[in-house]
Homo-oligomer: A and B are copies of this chain.
Amino acid sequence: MESRIDRIKKQLHGASYKLTPQREATVRVLLENEEDHLSAEDVYLLVKEKAPEIGLATVYRTLELLTELKIVDKINFGDGVSRYDLRQEGAAHFHHHLVCIECGAVDEIQEDLLEDVEAVVEKRWNFQIKDHRLTFHGICWRCTEKHAEEKNKENVNNPNNNEDF
């Protein structure tokens, strides 16, 4: 954690920015909620817990800065809100997402999976890929399991249930 912050500090310095206390507090919130997909507002509320004097504008500015430096990626899942996602250290590309249309959960896929597709696109469309966004919308494993359980319960209560036939 500390070493991660140190490296981010160096990245900022490399682009002649400072890691101010407000920026550090913001980065810490992102690190502590690495698996979440927080909006600027979400980050603001969490940062305020440790640094109550921080302003919303500063959070927006910090997130913008981190995006510019490719420390975080900005993504929009279709609700009108931008969300901010720490990039895996050293990752060449942004990771992928599974958005559940039933429960709203957002799961991550860290594996690349797109290598072949990107080779085709670069060649056939003569397009130099710098980054990508890949999001699947569907039903997550938790919701699928829940459905199976419910169906089970139904059949126990009513063994002659023949909806399957």
Q: Which residues of A contact B (CB under 8 A)?
A: 74, 76, 78, 80, 82, 98, 101, 107, 109, 113-114, 116-118, 120-121, 125-141, 144
Identical subunits present = 2
Report chain B residues within 8 Å CB of A113: 117, 120-121
Contact yes or no, A138 B131, CB < 8 A = yes
Residue of B nearest to A118 (CB): B136
Contact yes or no, B134 A132, CB < 8 A = yes
Report chain B residues within 8 Å CB of A74: 78
Tell me, in angstroms, the Cα distance from A121 to B99 when the chains sit together. 12
Within the complex, what minimum Cβ distance (angstroms) separates A96 from chain B? 8
Report chain B residues within 8 Å CB of A118: 136
Contact yes or no, A126 B138, CB < 8 A = no
Tell me, in angstroms, the Cα distance from A118 to B134 when the chains sit together. 11
Report chain B residues within 8 Å CB of A125: 98, 107, 109, 141
A-B contact pairs, 30 of them (CB 8 A): A76-B76, A80-B80, A98-B121, A98-B127, A101-B130, A113-B117, A113-B121, A114-B117, A117-B117, A118-B136, A121-B136, A126-B141, A126-B144, A127-B136, A127-B138, A127-B140, A128-B138, A128-B139, A129-B136, A129-B138, A130-B138, A130-B139, A131-B138, A132-B135, A132-B136, A132-B137, A133-B134, A133-B135, A133-B137, A134-B134
Residue of B nearest to A142 (CB): B126
Within the complex, what minimum Cβ distance (angstroms) separates A112 from chain B? 10
Contact yes or no, A130 B126, CB < 8 A = no
Knowing that A129-B136, A132-B137 are A-B contacts, what are 4 other residue pairs whose CB atoms are under 8 Å apart, sorted by A's residue number?
Answer: A80-B82, A98-B121, A127-B136, A134-B134
